[in-house]
Structure 1
Amino acid sequence: MLGMTSQPTPTSDPIPNIATASEAFHSGDELRERWRALMGPLGFSERLLWFAFVDTSGHILPALNQLPLDGPPEPYLADLLMYRLSDVIDGRDVVSVAMLITRPGADAITPWDRGWARLLTTAADLSGVRIEPIFRANSVDLVEVRDSRSAGRSVA
């Protein structure tokens, strides 16, 4: 089971060198550091789902993808995304998907964040897509969105 990811403060959360984003990860904390390096300074003007493919050795493949999350958590969108992602997961080169929800604000994890994470997790389960722990970033922190099912998620 993954160790708890601490809630960093902006001053205690330095941005890792972007070169570290291409290093393999083997824990939720390491995956968080990869997302932190990729995102750079925090502060987002729109709600997006960022996702990337993870290879067999735990490396995030270099192409980041974005999907707007304009409204409330939408099961159809989560199901459609996972259905499409299931075509890409081949078990040889790509084994899982890493996801990050970004949005404006300086608050803690919200029901909206948890709703999207829960829908994405459920849709992944139903479509057979292996996912990594889901993270959320806003203006002040980048943290894992934990739920009762997060213990079963992959960590490359």
Structure 2
Amino acid sequence: MGPLGFGERLLWIGFVGPDRRMIKTLTQMPIGRAPDRAVLSDLLAGMMMIAQESAPGSTLALLLTRPGCDGISAEDRRWSDVIAHIAREQNVSLEALFRANDQSLLPL
């Protein structure tokens, strides 16, 4: 991914194969300060379908990136909560969700 330092908010989506190895392809999606449930619902469902069709037993790995040097923010927690809730509703298999900013990479 490269050194820390981000000029915009992005949601990175990767696939973890059934062998527990990260598939090299990562997709980035620009995001706002607040999660859009409808967009995230469609996105997670579509990504999970692609993962299962290409390698049954795969899961999704997500990373939120944004500018800043603070700790985990209320916005980060809101994103994490909404993503986790949608994943549970849709039976989407997620790995741990992380947040990276200009200073640190932390699990949510």
Q: Could you state the TM-score of these two structures normalised by the residue count of structure 2?
A: 0.91
How many matched pairs? 107
Given that 1:89 and 1:129 are in contact with CA atoms closer than 8 Å, whether structure 2 keeps it comes out as no
> Distance in 2 between the 1:121 and 1:51 partners?
14
Identity of aligned residues (%): 35
* 1:86–1:128 CA contact under 8 A, matched in 2: no
What CA RMSD, in Å, does the superposition of the two structures yield over aligned residues?
1.5
Instruction: Please give the TM-score of this superposition, normalised by the length of structure 1.
Output: 0.64
| Aligned with 2:61 (options 94, 98, 113) | 98
1:67 equivalent in structure 2: 29
Q: In structure 2, which of residues 33, 38, 43 is the aligned counterpart of residue 76 of structure 1?
A: 38
CA drift of 1:86 comes to 2.9
> Runs of 5+ in structure 2 lacking a partner?
none
Confirm whether residue 120 of structure 1 aligns to residue 91 of structure 2. Answer: no
Are 2:69 and 2:101, in contact at CA under 8 Å, matched by a contact in 1? yes
SS for the counterpart of 1:56 is: coil
Instruction: Work out the CA distance in 1 between the residues paired with 2:50 and 2:91.
Output: 12
Q: 1:138 is matched by which residue type in structure 2?
A: N
Larger Rg: 1
- In terms of fraction of residues, the more strand-rich structure is 2
Provide Cα deviations, 1:15-51, integer angstroms capped at 9, x if missing partner. Answer: xxxxxxxxxxxxxxxxxxxxxxxx2210000000001
Q: Distance in 2 between matches of 1:97 and 1:123?
A: 13
Q: Which has the higher contact order (CA 8 A, sep 6+)?
A: 2
